[in-house]
Structure 1
Amino acid sequence: MTADVLVSVGTDVHRFDRLMDWIETWYAALADRPSLLLQHGRSRAPAIPGAVPFLDHDALGAAMAGARVVVTHGGPASITEARRHGHLPVVVARDPAYGEHVDDHQMLFTARMAGAGLIRLCTTAGELTDALSEGLARSGAAGDRGTGDAAEARAAAVAAVGRIVDDLVASRRQRGSRWSR
């Protein structure tokens, strides 16, 4: 299963209807619609073609490999997987204020990743629309994929993610988090 745009919300038990609404609105406004594969998880199923509840790991990997643009939630594994396939992922973090997750770790993580230039973070429907339009406008099947040596870029991305995670864990411990012992 491949499509121009892959949207994946992972396997979390929380709904992510806000992202479904944003994607539906974006898609409905297009005159020339790209192919879309939208893995909606436990969120409400959007009324657009290409919506599926879940994809197994192999199908998700194949979809990422073939997509021009990858949109994902702020889960570290999903972001890392998109980057492993050569994408600059478009990311919408789950927000606990909307019941989309139990805490704000996705918001903290994605802010750091965006600051390092490793993702395209979208906090509004307008930002998501712009990111999708720009990603699809890029020429060739690679879409938002980086250029240059993929192995070198992957190693740099892994190192950057490691530093970001280390910084987040250290700052959480300094603040006296409930996770500190």
Structure 2
Amino acid sequence: MSALVLVLAGTDHHPFDRMVAWADDAAVRHPEVHVVVQHGASRPPVVAEGKDFLGHDQLAGLLEAASVVVCHGGPGLITEAREAGHVPLCVPRDPALGEHVDAHQQRFAAMVGRVGVVREVLDRATFEVQLDAALAEGAHRGVGLATVHELRDSARAKVAAELDELLAVVRPQPRTRRRSHAGR
């Protein structure tokens, strides 16, 4: 059975042609690998198998079957990939390229990348290196369900701790109201 690389651009209306092109290049470089790209509003792949959208059951089935998952930087898909036992290659959408309205995916991917929830990928060269490494590792195949759940719980704890730390920095301190002594 050949490896399956699942590439998920998501459902945002902004095109993500950059990631689709990288997936097509991967399909050319690895003809022994089945590459499936959920491309949404992006142009469909030329070499890889393309699907514009996936129903949730279809997505869950592909995540279970995948050897490697590549996704954008949205928390929903990252969570789905982690729930299926993957440490996804995460390519955050870049607003400077018209892939999204702001840089929230870049900030989120950097944060969760630092704690090992994803493998952050910002350029084609890194994508190729990370994909080759993930294919060589065999991703999560052969990992028992208990281990997958341990990995998921550990990732959740890491993200929660990082979010708590970030919120502590930006959380305003409660103001104490001073009583006026005038009129006493």
Band the TM-score falls in, shorter-chain normalisation: 0.7 to 0.9
For 1:167 and 1:102, locate their aligned partners in 2 and report how far apart those are by CA, in whole Å: 26
Residue number in structure 1 paired with 2:49? 50
Query: Residues 40 and 54 of structure 1 are in contact (CA less than 8 Å); yes or no, is this contact kept in structure 2?
Result: yes
For 2:171 and 2:94, locate their aligned partners in 1 and report how far apart those are by CA, in whole Å: 22
Residue number in structure 2 paired with 1:83? 82
For 1:43 and 1:167, locate their aligned partners in 2 and report how far apart those are by CA, in whole Å: 35
Cα deviation for residue 158 of structure 1 reads 1.4
Residue number in structure 2 paired with 1:33? 32
For 1:23 and 1:146, locate their aligned partners in 2 and report how far apart those are by CA, in whole Å: 28
Residue number in structure 2 paired with 1:72? 71
Greater RCO (Cα-Cα under 8 Å, separation 6 or more): 1
Counterpart code for 1:155: D
5+ residue gaps, structure 1, are 175-181
Cα deviation for residue 11 of structure 1 reads 0.9
For 2:66 and 2:123, locate their aligned partners in 1 and report how far apart those are by CA, in whole Å: 23
Matched, 1:131 2:102: no
For 2:168 and 2:144, locate their aligned partners in 1 and report how far apart those are by CA, in whole Å: 30
Where 1:149 maps in the other structure, the secondary structure is helix
Residue number in structure 1 paired with 2:12? 12
- Closer/same/farther in 2, CA of residues 139 and 107 from structure 1, 3 Å limit: closer
CA deviations on 1:75-130 (whole Å, 9 max, x unpaired) are 00101110110001011000110111111110001101111011111111111111
Report the TM-score when normalising by structure 1.
Answer: 0.84
CA deviations on 1:19-69 (whole Å, 9 max, x unpaired) are 112222232233x33011110000011112411100011111110011000
For 1:105 and 1:48, locate their aligned partners in 2 and report how far apart those are by CA, in whole Å: 30
Comparing 148-157 with 84-93, which one deviates more in the overlay? Answer: 148-157
Residue number in structure 2 paired with 1:157? 155
Cα deviation for residue 167 of structure 1 reads 4.3
Cα deviation for residue 171 of structure 1 reads 5.1
Cα deviation for residue 159 of structure 1 reads 2.0
Give aligned pairs, total: 171
- Closer/same/farther in 2, CA of residues 140 and 14 from structure 1, 3 Å limit: closer
- Computing the radius of gyration from Cα coordinates, the structure with the larger value is 2
For 2:161 and 2:106, locate their aligned partners in 1 and report how far apart those are by CA, in whole Å: 17
Identity %: 40
